[in-house]
Amino acid sequence: MDILSVLRSRLEIVDDCVTSKQLVDRLVARGPLEESLHLTELDTLVKRHYQWLKHLPRIRPFYAIKSNDEPSLVETTILLGCGYDCASTGELKRILGFRVDPERIMFGQPAKTIESLEFAKKMKLRTVFDSEDELRKIHRYYPEAKVVIRFRLETVEDPMRLGIKFGCEVDLEARELLDLAKELGIDVIGWCFNLGHSCINPENFYTGIKKGRELTDYAESLGFKFNLIDLGGGFSGDKDVSIDRYAEQINRGLDEFFPAELGYTIVAEPGRYYSAAAVTAVVPIHGKRMIRNKENPKEIENVFYFFNDGIYGTFYSARYRGKGVKPIVWKSQSEWGPVRKTTFYGPSCDGIDFFAKDIDMPELGVSDFVVFENQGAYSRVHSCRFNGFCPPKPVTFVRKSVWELLEETSEGDATRIVMDSKYLLENDNFEKLAFE
């Protein structure tokens, strides 16, 4: 079956006028459920893509599928003609299975297994390096590889410290590595960095491009011919953060250091930018416990709610990646109880399985629903079998006009079709679910 038919079988098409709020209402109306639901709106992903093309016209998006590899999202990005950032043979095989041209794939793993290097050689994939040992491994197992050097940009605000795990130091170490690559005869064709997490300060992109220019000049002095630059990921995916804030700094950097007439291919690896806002978690409360003050039992100190979804499901990032949650109470304000200190627990026996602590919330009851926006990135992909609970269940919708647009993409130039879409031109905003 072709991608379009497979995708069609996974989703429900709704009229353009159906709002996100109405979709949540529909799911809630089904009543308490065993698993939490991931309301997935493909429209949101398509709008994100449209905004990317509009604001960053020189940069080809290579979707980082690790952020969310749900079939419906991956298939939509295939129809849109995205490229891919893959870090494992599993991800590579998945994408190559769609017959994506290896030119549209970056095997972005700086510490590869020998088996994956041999696979990359067979498929003629580009890859990256950031250390002497990796260069020697590439030299031994895939000497004809085209590779990019990954350098790091140290940013104080990155709580995940991605800058420390991968990437060489950009001034001295990167030059020594290029010297070695020259000696080994490895074809280095460009550079990459990954700011990671949600890059809070967009100026980091400008700094990275500037550093990349210095490195390019050095490489060209050694006789390398650079033609690929890769700006990595780290673009916020939340509905209320627009791509403008990055585009301004990036376009300024590119115009200054890599103007269009020089003909470099420029890519970036957005993950959460594409996936986060597309998913709204709709989670029923299935248990509740009032915690009373020891001295004064009349006083309620905290309310514990138990959900069938926690850090082993949707909320790993909320707990451990500093994302936090903004719960939306899904019932009319007239039915809210008094505001109390509140803690949200996941279902497992693990005491650390909570994802909000001591927040102020109106009191709710068992079988009420709480809704969390922007839960599409680094959520369900983290879910595991611990304690036998179900992973969150995706329920996917698309508006009629967007579906028609996806149908068209399978017959022509996807980028043109998206850019020329009158529907997207008029509907590129995002509906927020929070009640005012």
Ligand X SMILES: *Cc1c(COP(=O)(O)O)cnc(C)c1O
Q: In whole angstroms, give the CA distance from residue 355 to residue 344.
A: 6
The residue from 108, 208, 391, 394 that contacts ligand X (CB under 6 A) is 108
Query: Is residue 196 a contact point for ligand X (CB under 6 A)?
Result: yes
Tokens, residue 232: 């990595």
Minimum CB separation of residue 63 from ligand X in Å reads: 9
The residue from 194, 314, 317, 421 that contacts ligand X (CB under 6 A) is 194
Query: Is residue 67 a contact point for ligand X (CB under 6 A)?
Result: yes
Binding letters toward ligand X, positions 206-225, x by CB under 6 A: --------------------
Minimum CB separation of residue 236 from ligand X in Å reads: 8
Strands, E, within 197-299: which ranges?
228-230, 265-268, 279-292
The residue from 142, 151, 235, 306 that contacts ligand X (CB under 6 A) is 235
Q: Which stretch binds ligand X (CB under 6 A): 93-101, 189-197, 345-353, 359-367?
A: 189-197
Residue 26 neighbours by CB under 8 Å, 6+ apart: none
CA angle 271, 275, 280 (to 5 degrees): 150
The residue from 85, 134, 309, 373 that contacts ligand X (CB under 6 A) is 85
The residue from 56, 59, 64, 267 that contacts ligand X (CB under 6 A) is 64
Q: Which stretch binds ligand X (CB under 6 A): 40-48, 61-69, 97-105, 365-373?
A: 61-69
The residue from 202, 234, 310, 346 that contacts ligand X (CB under 6 A) is 234
* Segment 140 to 169, residues that bind ligand X, using CB under 6 A: none
Minimum CB separation of residue 112 from ligand X in Å reads: 13
The residue from 43, 130, 134, 269 that contacts ligand X (CB under 6 A) is 269
Query: Is residue 271 a contact point for ligand X (CB under 6 A)?
Result: yes
Query: Is residue 92 a contact point for ligand X (CB under 6 A)?
Result: no
Tokens, residue 46: 């398509």
Query: Is residue 346 a contact point for ligand X (CB under 6 A)?
Result: no
Q: Which is nearer to ligand X, 146 or 321 (CB)?
A: 321
Minimum CB separation of residue 108 from ligand X in Å reads: 4
According to DSSP, the residues that pair with 141 across neighbouring strands are none
Nearest of 274, 153, 265, 156 to residue 206 by alpha carbon: 153
Q: Which is nearer to ligand X, 197 or 319 (CB)?
A: 197
Amino acid, res. 384: C
Q: Which stretch binds ligand X (CB under 6 A): 32-40, 192-200, 244-252, 289-297?
A: 192-200
Strands, E, within 165-295: which ranges?
187-192, 228-230, 265-268, 279-292
Tokens, residue 354: 């909570």
* Strand 354-362, strand 187-192: pairing: unpaired
End-to-end CA distance of the chain: 45
Minimum CB separation of residue 17 from ligand X in Å reads: 32
Alpha-carbon distances, residue 73 vs 85, 121, 161, 275 (angstroms): 15, 28, 28, 8
Annotated catalytic residues are 349
3-state secondary structure of 37: strand
Minimum CB separation of residue 71 from ligand X in Å reads: 19
Q: In whole angstroms, give the CA distance from residue 90 to residue 336.
A: 47
According to DSSP, the residues that pair with 386 across neighbouring strands are none
Query: Is residue 232 a contact point for ligand X (CB under 6 A)?
Result: yes
Q: Which is nearer to ligand X, 163 or 234 (CB)?
A: 234
Tokens, residue 26: 């529909």
Q: In whole angstroms, give the CA distance from residue 34 to residue 382.
A: 19
Sign, Cα dihedral of 351, 357, 363, 365: negative
The residue from 66, 175, 211, 239 that contacts ligand X (CB under 6 A) is 66
Query: Is residue 70 a contact point for ligand X (CB under 6 A)?
Result: no
Q: Which stretch binds ligand X (CB under 6 A): 9-17, 35-43, 263-271, 389-397?
A: 263-271
CA atoms within 13 Å, Cβ hemisphere of 79: 28
Q: Which is nearer to ligand X, 63 or 345 (CB)?
A: 63
Tokens, residue 194: 């990954």
Q: How many residues bind ligand X (CB under 6 A)?
A: 18
CA angle 207, 213, 217 (to 5 degrees): 150
Residues in contact with ligand X by CB under 6 A are 64, 66-67, 85, 108, 194, 196-197, 232-235, 269-273, 377
